[in-house]
Chain A
């Protein structure tokens, strides 16, 4: 099956710093989503982005489908950005497969 690799596995930032999270996938996909899991376990859908670029406030994401990767940008990080960021992909007729996530810790 398709493989999803996220990097880095862990990231520690000072408040106000910028960061880039990467998601590589092993085959073509028609669905790619980014999620944030807060310290209480709740998963929030950040972006549905099988291709192209989207922005939502301090977060933006870019997927280059032909090169099989996606990037999540976090600017001016805040302590509330802490948690685990997951990338998930799906091919036609299949459900989303998740990467192992990037754990982000933002300190004040």
Chain B
């Protein structure tokens, strides 16, 4: 069966420090991968998605970037964190169909990021 791993579970970082969050998927090949952010008490905002290695689509211009160095690995990064980057970051995957609007979406357990 497929599983998705996301770490760390919680992270406290000072303003201006770098960020690297990692997500890996097991049990499937060529998944679509996604990064979402959830601000406190609000809905989920799509940040990035990827339909293949090295293919990244950005939905919201911001202080963050994403990379997909391997088929089942998705990384969210920042060179310098801002206070507004605080939130709950969720990685997700879906079956590959060559485009993102397909079938079920499955989420990792999330990373709570606090920028102080």
Contact = CB atoms under 8 A, between A and B. Distances in A.
A41 B1 CA distance: 22
Interface string B20-52: 000000000000001010000011111001000
Interface string A24-49: 00000011010100000111110010
Interface residues of B, number: 25
A83 B25 CA distance: 26
Contacts of B36: 98
Given A41-B109, A42-B110, A95 B43 contact: no
B107 A92 contact: no
Interface in A55-94: 86, 88, 90-94
Contact of B100 (A86, A93, A98): A93
Interface of B: 34, 36, 42-46, 49, 57, 59, 88, 90, 92, 99-107, 109-110, 112
Given A43-B110, A44-B107, 11 more contacts: A41-B88, A43-B90, A43-B92, A48-B104, A91-B101, A93-B101, A95-B34, A95-B100, A96-B105, A98-B46, A100-B43
